[in-house]
A and B are shown apart, each in its own frame.
Chain A
Amino acid sequence: MTPEADIEIRITGVTHRYRSNVALESILLDLPKGQLVGFIGPDGVGKSTLLGLITGAKKLQTGSISVLGGSIDDAAHRRLICPAIAFMPQGLGRNLYSELSVRENLEFFSGLFGQGQEECDIRTNALLSATGLAPFEDRLMGKLSGGMKQKLGLCCALIHDPKLLVLDEPTTGVDPLSRRQFWALINAIRAEHPRLSVLVSTAYMEEAESFDQIVAMDGGHVIFQGKPAELKGQDRDLETAYRRLRAHDGFRLVSDQAPVRQINPNPVISARGLTRRFGDFTAVDNVDFSIHRGEIFGFLGSNGCGKSTTMKMLTGLLPVSSGEALLFGNPVDARDRRMRRDIGYMSQAFSLYGELSVHQNLQLHARIFAIPDREERIAELTERFGLAAHRDTLAAALPLGIKQRLSLAVAVIHRPRVLILDEPTSGVDPEARDVFWALLVELSHKDLVTIFVSTHFMAEAERCDRVSFMHAGRVLAEGTPADLIAAEGTGSLEEAFISVLETAEKPAPVVAPKVDFATKTKVTGQGIGRALTYTRREAVEVVRDPVRLAFAFLGSAILMLVFCFGISLDIEDLEFAVLDLSQSPESRAYTEEISGSPYFKQTPPLISATEGRRRLQAGDVSMVIELPPDFGRKQRTGEPTQVLATVDGAIPFKGETVEGYVAGLHQSFLDGQSRTKGEHAVEIARIEPRFRYNQSFESIAAMAPAMPAILLIMLPAVLAAVSVARERELGSVVNFYVTPTTRLEFLIGKQIPYIMIAYVNFLLLAAMIIFVFDVPLKGDPLPLALGAFLYVWATTSYGLLIATMTSSQVAATFATAIASVVPTIQFSGLLQPVSTLEDGAQLIGSLWPSSYFLHLNVGAFTKGLGWEALAPDILALACFGPALTLIAALCLRAQEK
């Protein structure tokens, strides 16, 4: 037993559920100080959940975890100790920023821990040179190889000199040489800092042999804790020992036929000088190999070494840059559908439809291949691949091992002669892998299917008939596993691969980074520093993302043009037609009164009322005037008569405008008539409409200054919301969970660039109003400038608030767009002045920032108002920003659920 004083982490009764799935159940564990503790087991046994809980990245549900002398569930303690913890989450570079360079990534993490520039430089340089990343410090993280991403992730974790280092599957998908170097680096660091505790999870059991302690997990339980040697006991290796501990899932394959080797001189698949370039990057470089009928050919290499690209070229998914890929002696042709019937392809990761059931997936593929004996084939595969029990389960809900079997069943449903499998078993537990390989062997031996499979598991490579080592786009060696081991004179295939790699590329020597600790200085104003660190990073990311950048700056300008040109309400040149049944000078005078105005344009006269109706219906005319047969006679004799004006009322706004025009023109006809008759003034009183603020009553003068109110809420809110949702979707939000960053620092830091972008947008829109639309700024610019700043603060905060409630970028975008545009149009007075709204709507309007900004902007531009009249709006706007930011901070989760 570990003495009480040496216990760093104590886990008692921890149970964790994701909805109804139990990820961890009643975990009881003590972890010692200053040791390397490994958590082993395949995907989905609860390793990541447990590490997430220990670091505080995930919120504890039940039980308690004490870390570095206090409960991790206590927010105050968590803040206190998080500078001492470093967490590198699962997935290579998942917490790093692909748009940032290597150095910028490190500077970001350094800033989060409040290091000064000098300290940051010293530490960064030490880490970069120790890991051999120094020559690549300006390369974008997204462009690094897997091994380099892993090293950068480690550097970022070590930048603040932690006491507890937590690494979740740091070596998955990395080539064996990089993996070996990684462990050498960890050991060197531990030698330098003996008090450093390291927790690490891994799916490669063979790595765990050198750990101080291991915790073996299965199905949310700890099934073993102790030294590796104790677990291994009499067994050949840790994997065998692990299997012994586990319960079996029942499905066993009986068939185990002896291999039938018939090497056919004509290869099924062959590649000659196969090369693929992406721009100036060569992904696959002059690769040659040939695969024979019924053979299992393995491709061994790290992530990003060109395995998938080679396979895609063989399936015809990617055209070759040079060289040739032959299938049954014919060049691979993407357009040849018959050739594709010979190939079964299983792409990397699970690529079936998770939202369809197992049976539906099989049905869909059977139908696409038009298999004649569809039902029998599906039944056969369901039986043979052990899928019967899961027939109606959604594919997304299947355990990983069964998903892989389903993928394989789908890939062979059309009885292909060639099977191309791209890393089919990554993340699957050992038994499931065995079952999967038994199926492959059966397919190869019984059905004589040629199988081309890629993997990064050595144990799998050993089962292949022949393997090929691939690295950085080139095939380094090829042969049967036994031949390769013999050729390199090593004890295992892994060592053979490492030896080949070392010959090809001299590895950098491993040293622990030497940091002069005396430079560690406390920087004051850490909170602001952390917020600004986020600001800097966010700004760099936006600047490097062309679509977001275009949206940020061009979006508002384009929409402004569209709105202002498109939503003009000044209607002129409306087409009308006359049905003149009178054909008299008087009736013609009436028609001229109308056609003479700028509002109307006459179209050919009508011959019947039916025709008028038809033309109204087709939208050729907006109004039809009907003058009765006795119009002229009655006019002359002074009898009262009537004119019928039929207006197209389908578009209410247009119809009412036309009616207003007609009534006015009719009156002016009457006035003119009495004038010519010399009658005593018909006009007894004048009614003088005076359009205030906008004498000529051009709609642009009212429309243009109103538009910023909607544009400056929609676009900035969406951008701010996307920035938060994006961080959550890509996984980098974990940096906020496990560093000393507070919720307000995180939000305000991310908000600042968007406030600036939105403010530049405001200036742009204001300039457009003045120079493009010729609407002068009549009022005081200063209150307007201040109010606009407060408004964009409020709108970006609103975006953050919505983002805290949505889970994906898409949901955030649409939810924010709807939730910002709808209230602005309905309640802020954009189309309908606030004074005309019902009481309830007015109340909502008074709680909505756009109402105040609309009044402010229109007031300053068109009404010519100054400080005094605008002060109430500014005061109201000043409340929204801080209030919304605070609410968003309250709604933001500081830990993952």
Chain B
Amino acid sequence: MSSLTMGNRFGRNTTVQSSANRPNAITSGHRACQGCGEALAARCAVDAAFNATNGKIAVVNATGCLEVFSCASLESSWNIPWLHSLFGNAAAVASGVAAAFKLNPEKELRVIAQGGDGGTTDIGMGCLSGMFDRNDDVLYICYDNQAYMNTGVQRSSATPALARTATTLPNKVYNGNEPTVGKNVPDIAIAHGIPYVATASVGDIHDLEAKVAKAINIKGAKYIQIHCPCPLGWGHATSDTIKIAKLAIKCGLYPLFEAENGIINSTKIESFIPVEEYLKTQKRFAHLFGKNADPANIQILQKIANSNIERYQLGVIADE
């Protein structure tokens, strides 16, 4: 236990993770890579939901890294009722679970559906939209590591502009994932009129836990998208996961906000950093730097950050 954790425990704003009796909904010994942002996010999120409901939760998991590393070969890391069906149907399966639990309110468990960005924003989008449409009593958590990591880092609709993935490999005439593609699923969720939508990050555990704890007890459909760096897919040191997540927040590329009944409240940033500081930490953006690189590409990403800052009112960009 680190001194930071000890310090947290004595502080006023302790996290669920820093408490000595954290629920351990997902136990150690699973097969995630070292430094996995998703494993950390899932532990924080599910533990927070566990605490907020006195342990009355059930989890439906989409196929993906999280499912594979937590429950394979007759071993399970889950200390809670857990169900995996398929890649693209977690939201619909969770809707069915919630419908069944509703029939017996005394024994009702709160329902979480969870998956990666591929299982959520691409193949799971139809079922997710249906779950939002019916306002089913499910908290859907998307662990957003911005590509299909389980299958070997292919591009998803959550992959950022100009990122290198196995299906958007940059070369002399191609700069990586096209800046004009992709979709904003939190906005799509808000457009369904569901009671709670939020973004979160492993770079801010207090915020992540608070959002999950709030969402899990709201009736109806909820959506939380958590930014989870992936050392393998993004090409960064395993010890830098949290640092990089924090940089994404600070540069405006991953705005943190929550929308209760459509009203957006964002986490303000005191002073923004240029996007380069975030981008240069990861090999997936390495082609944007170096002597032959076109600086205009960095500007494309800076514009995206600036537009986030304006749109979600994250703070004031200091004049150069």
| Co-complex (A, B) | no
B residues apposed to A, CB below 8 Å: none
